Amino acid sequence: MEMLKNREKLIKAVNIALVASFVIQTILLWNEYEWYEFFAPYGTVFLFPFLVAAAAVYTENGLKDKGLWIVAVVAVVAAVGILIVHSGKGAWFTAVDVALFVYLADKIRFSKILSWFCLLYTGFYFIYWTYDVKGYFKGYNTNYGGLVLITGFVFAITLSISTRRRLMATGNIGYRFLTFFIPFMFVWGYNIIAWYRARCALLGLVTFTVLLLIPAKVWKNKAFYTVLTLGATLGAIAVSLIYVWLGKYASAFDVRIFYKDIISGRDEIWADLWSAFMKSPIFGIGSSYKLRAEWMGGMFEVHNGLLDILIVHGLIVFVCICTMLINRLLGLRQYTDNIVSRSAVAAVFAILAASFMENFFIVPPFLTAVLALIAIARSV
């Protein structure tokens, strides 16, 4: 009994530490561009010890836990890959952080207070970045601004749904205000994302909206949920291949979203990356690869979360992470009876969808935000 109480105390402590790390990350990355430039290269290194501590506390079976062995395989193979392809050392932390995140996804739970704090705190950034437009005016890339907005938005909506549910349960007529205000927030969300012209965020917004409109009975349908899960994960790879194919017909494929051609550069980047990857599929091409597109100025950026794991680290690391991620997402289906949990799960899928066009969820603080959403879905 005493051991159980001590473990519960450790879990509470490590949860608070994780959330505290998230607050620090957002303060440094989501407020001033000068702070962002300084901290962004070290974000994965900063997050690493918090994830390790959480994994150590949440592990019940020690070395018998298969998930831990998968994390170990990712760590070893990613390290070997760095030596073989001369990748940047920071890439190792990205792969291992994501592996630890996936490992924790079916274990972590938050208290009600911690869940409410995460929803309120992160939702605040949706309002903040709407009021204080960052974008190019204050140094941030507009796509990055879109990612902050969609992250804050899904937290704000989940908070509003949770608040409405509580007010209804207590007979407080204030829930009627939220009944009208929540749809207004979706209009508000679209307008500010359109102002930023962030197409990746628009993809996330559309995904989140559609999933919230789907009835609970459909969510419980195993076939539907499996297709959704595979689409949100393996779909990231399929999208990149489709873009490469469409890039061959770019001149004839005249479709625009937010005043930009839908085929506007990623096809060229992904074609280059796939070409290089096919020469080194086991350990990937590393993060030191220089893109051939002149307009990228030699900068390396995959613009796709799971594709980044595959291209940079190779098949072994990708299969380990993606298989475990699919398994964890499938496990979330049992929590979709509850509207609040369903909103949190829909938010996870929305962020995965937006990650088709940006690295997004694999880097801090977004990785921690997704872990928080999963914890909330499993705790409400």
- Per residue in 35-49, pLDDT (tens digit) is 999 999 999 999 999
> Hey, what amino acid is at 45?
V
Contact in structure between 55 and 68 (CB atoms under 8 Å): yes
Contact in structure between 26 and 35 (CB atoms under 8 Å): no
Whether the per-residue pLDDT at 359 is higher than 80: the answer is: yes
Radius of gyration of the chain (CA): 20
Kindly give, in sequence order, each residue whose CB lies less than 8 Å from that of residue 179, ignoring residues fewer than 6 positions away. Answer: 164
Question: Closest Cα partner for 49 from 24, 86, 82?
Answer: 24
According to the model, what pLDDT value does residue 101 have? 97
CA gap 224, 228 in Å, rounded:
6
According to the model, what pLDDT value does residue 201 have? 93
According to the model, what pLDDT value does residue 205 have? 97
Contact in structure between 261 and 353 (CB atoms under 8 Å): no
Residue with tokens 């359109």: 194
Across 132-146, 169-183, 254-268, 309-323, least confident range: 254-268
Whether the per-residue pLDDT at 177 is higher than 80: the answer is: yes
Q: At residue 260, what are phi and psi to the nearest 5 degrees?
A: -120, 145
Contact in structure between 207 and 270 (CB atoms under 8 Å): no
Kindly give, in sequence order, each residue whose CB lies less than 8 Å from that of residue 152, ignoring residues fewer than 6 positions away. Answer: 122, 123, 124, 125, 126, 127, 128, 129
> What is the pTM for the complete model shown?
0.94
> E strands of the chain, at which residues?
256-257, 260-261
For residue 342, give both structure tokens: 């369903």
Whether the per-residue pLDDT at 307 is higher than 90: the answer is: yes
